[in-house]
Amino acid sequence: QQQVKQSPQSLIVQKGGISIINCAYENTAFDYFPWYQQFPGKGPALLIAIRPDVSEKKEGRFTISFNKSAKQFSLHIMDSQPGDSATYFCAASYDKVIFGPGTSLSVIP
């Protein structure tokens, strides 16, 4: 019930393309769904987040789509750049924060 599933495990996208990462959860008590970006040797950093009363949130090239009935949410990175190459974690929280297993994104020129 506490698990957050994430796919794909790794993703290779050409520069300028769209990167899509999907997550799913079971526990309906979760009420905050953040995405974190982690570069090697660094701690994760909050990228964008959404609450379940909203179906979509966009910040620059990053968009979260949220489907409450399906208990799924996804991150879309538009116009992907080599600097976006990192590991991305979805998460869900109500008191503690539970992370998905991560997606390693490589954006190739």
Partner 1 sequence: GAGVSQSPSNKVTEKGKDVELRCDPISGHTALYWYRQSLGQGLEFLIYFQGNSAPDKSGLPSDRFSAERTGGSVSTLTIQRTQQEDSAVYLCASSPHPNTGELFFGEGSRLTVL
Which residues in the 62-91 window bind partner 1 by CB under 8 A? 89, 91
Residue 30 phi, psi dihedral angles, 5° rounding:
-60, 135
**Is residue 98 within the footprint of partner 1 (CB under 8 A)?**
yes
As a whole number of angstroms, the distance between CA 73 and CA 78 comes to 16
Confirm if 56 and 63 have CB atoms less than 8 A apart.
yes
As a whole number of angstroms, the distance between CA 82 and CA 10 comes to 15
Rounded to the nearest whole angstrom, what is the least distance from the CB of residue 66 to partner 1 in the complex? 14
Rounded to the nearest whole angstrom, what is the least distance from the CB of residue 15 to partner 1 in the complex? 24
- Give Cα 66 distance to the centre of its chain: 11
The count of residues interacting with partner 1 (CB under 8 A) is 24
Q: Of 19-27, 54-62, 65-73, 99-107, which part binds partner 1 (CB under 8 A)?
A: 99-107
Nearer to partner 1, 15 or 51 (CB): 51
Which residues in the 6-65 window bind partner 1 by CB under 8 A? 32-34, 36, 41-46, 49
Confirm if 67 and 53 have CB atoms less than 8 A apart.
no
